Amino acid sequence: MTDTHLVFIFDALMHPAQIAACCEAPEIAAVACLPDHRLGFHGLSMRWDGGNAAIVAERGAETWGVVYALSLLDAQRLDLMYAVREDGTGLHFHWPGEVRDARGNRHDVVCHVRNTLGEPCPPSTEHLRVLSEGARLRGLPSSYIHFLQTVPSQAARFSVPRFSHLDPRRITQFGCESCV
């Protein structure tokens, strides 16, 4: 694949079904960890009815995830999913990071970081189940999967995940189908 964008995903989009709902041709470049960051859950996700998955700086901690190689179009779809805005006013912004895979290889990636964390909030049980299953399916370390399975959670009050009216896979170079 030429002109790819390496993106580090540490949330439910690790799951094959979740990333497929957003991107047409995501390729796994590596399973890797982001050093000196931990996975936290903050604010309230209207998509998952619980805390939003977020990376939080913490010396000595590690957050594991998947490095996807994405086309420009899929990278733009992912930005839509994360509500990234070029002027910095979106829910997330691009943060350049360096992750390392199990063999010690380093990868320069883009991470989607929340603009504002909000108060700590437990994720929904359903969100955590999808996140853990994605981690298992993608071959993350068993100790990290065990950690995910022990995060306190609460049942969602409605059917999740809840998608917005804009399906990121409908976005083309000319705009979204619902706008045309």
- Take residue 38 and report the two structure tokens written for it: 């931990």
**Percentage of residues in the chain having pLDDT higher than 90:** 82
CA–CA dist 8, 99 (Å, integer)? 8
**pTM attached to this predicted model:** 0.89
The whole-number average pLDDT for the span 68-78 is 96
> Confidence class of residue 2 from pLDDT cuts 50, 70 and 90?
low
Among 176, 168, 131, residue whose Cα is nearest residue 153: 131
pLDDT in tens, 112-160: 999 999 999 999 999 999 999 999 999 999 999 999 999 999 999 999 9
Whether residue 170 has pLDDT greater than 60: no
Whether residue 103 has pLDDT greater than 80: yes
Where does residue 173 rank: exposed (0-12), middle (13-18), buried (19+ CB within 10 A)? exposed
Q: Domains in the chain and their CATH numbers?
A: 5-155 (3.10.490.10)
Among 139, 148, 143, 5, residue whose Cα is nearest residue 70: 5
Give the bridge partners for 94, in sequence order: 112
| Residue given tokens 């976005």 in the structure block | 171
pLDDT at 178 (0 to 100): 37
